[in-house]
Homo-oligomer: A and B are copies of this chain.
Amino acid sequence: MSLACDTCPVRDRAACAVLEEDQRDELAKAGRTRTLSKGETLFTAGESLAACATLKKGALKITSTDIDGRERILSLVHPSGFIGEMFGPYMRHDVVALGDAELCVFSGPDFQRAIERYPRLGQALLRRTQEDLFASRELLALTGNASAETRVAGALVSFARAASDSPCHLATRFDLPLSRGELADMLGLTIETVSRMLTRFEREGAIRRTGKRGIELIDPALLPLS
């Protein structure tokens, strides 16, 4: 199935936005639309198939699972994000839908050809990959030697930033994109500790919780950021 770029919700923001219209249509011929429902797996670590995708709707998590079966969330992917493993011989991580999601999927070789044909696409991806690298290092710094309090606070601020339109501004009301368990897996903590920290922040007047996922930032200055 070929792609309907005309109606694509991320056509101006995704990597392919740097292409001319005819180039994008050409690329679209190599891609396929795919929908995932909550919890469904897009890629599995170790798969020999190199592939990549642009996320159109929903959210994904990139995870690795250690020997004892404990899952670690390495990154979150938001709409217009790119998940790419064009080069390696196999997929390095699991990629799973956090909720219902919709993507454009390309085979690794197809996409590599597109990069060679359209240098601007490669440059756009380079920029994106560098951003992903910085995000990964930021998470590394956050989970490195910070206290549980600081980690949870940092995650809240990071979600508040992602939920606002401008990246330097915090949304005051937003929904957590993750369950307590997923938040714990991302921060290297346990469900109980995450829950306790949220309770503490609410008791101290920094946030208010509405339902399981809703967060309202009352006084971000009370969050113990590092």
Contact = CB atoms under 8 A, between A and B. Distances in A.
Interface of A: 62, 64, 66-68, 70, 72, 74-75, 84-88, 92-93, 115-116, 119, 122-123, 125-127, 129-130, 132-134, 136-137, 139-141, 143-146, 188, 225-226
Given A66-B226, A144-B72, A122 B133 contact: no
Given A87-B127, A92-B137, A136-B137, 16 more contacts: A62-B137, A64-B137, A66-B141, A66-B146, A72-B140, A74-B140, A88-B130, A92-B134, A93-B137, A116-B123, A129-B130, A132-B133, A136-B136, A136-B140, A143-B188, A144-B188
A101 to B, nearest CB: 20
Nearest to A74: B137
A140 B74 CA distance: 7
Among A62, A72, A92, the one with the most B-chain Cβ atoms within 10 Å of its Cβ is A72
Contacts of A225: 67
A70 B144 CA distance: 10
A140 B141 contact: no
A145 B189 CA distance: 7
Among A70, A137, A188, the one with the most B-chain Cβ atoms within 10 Å of its Cβ is A137
A188 B139 CA distance: 13
Contact of A145 (B70, B115, B133, B226): B70
Nearest to A126: B126
Closest 8 pairs between A and B when the two form their complex, measured CB to CB: A119-B119, A144-B188, A136-B136, A74-B137, A72-B144, A129-B129, A64-B141, A66-B226
Contacts of A123: 115-116, 122
Contacts of A125: 126
Contact of A68 (B70, B122, B226): B226
